[in-house]
Amino acid sequence: MGADFIFATCRRLEDRDAAIGLVDQLSDERLDRVVDQLSDERLDRVWGLQTGDAPENDEDRKDEDRKAVRLFLKEAVDVACSDRRDLGWFQDSDDQYWLITGGMSWGDDPTDAYQYIMAIAESGIDVMAARRRGT
């Protein structure tokens, strides 16, 4: 078994404050999709970074997962709107601008930005922001 090249893309976010506002407007259903997309290991890492230990009770965990993911998405917007070495961008044939990150992976994330770009794409805030801009 060897390394694989993997990458993640999302539409480029032009306005950080507007994107943060979109995170605040995400429905529980949309947040649940992001929670489901994150592996248990990654979700535990989100908990560790954002809110401390996850609750043991499953009912409480669902609401707390949403809160943690909302905070994680705000952090992801900050990453996506920053100038980083592990993020690039390209323009497609429809004049849409996309962020891209990736690299070789041996089962781990290939870049520090990878998990953030995946979460933005899964949440749909990049598409919502593009619609607001009319693109």
pLDDT in tens, 22-74: 999 999 888 888 888 776 666 666 655 554 555 566 666 778 888 888 988 99
CA dihedral in degrees (124, 68, 42, 120; nearest 10)? 20
Write down the pLDDT at residue 37.
Answer: 75
Which residues is 103 bridged to in the sheet?
A: 6
Write down the pLDDT at residue 61.
Answer: 73
Rounded Cα distance between 45 and 102, Å, is 20
Q: Which tokens hold the place of 113?
A: 């930005």
Write down the pLDDT at residue 81.
Answer: 94
Rounded Cα distance between 45 and 25, Å, is 24
Considering the entire predicted model, what is its pTM? 0.81
Residues 74-123 have pLDDT tens digits of 999 999 999 999 999 999 988 889 999 999 999 888 999 998 999 999 89
Rounded Cα distance between 101 and 17, Å, is 22
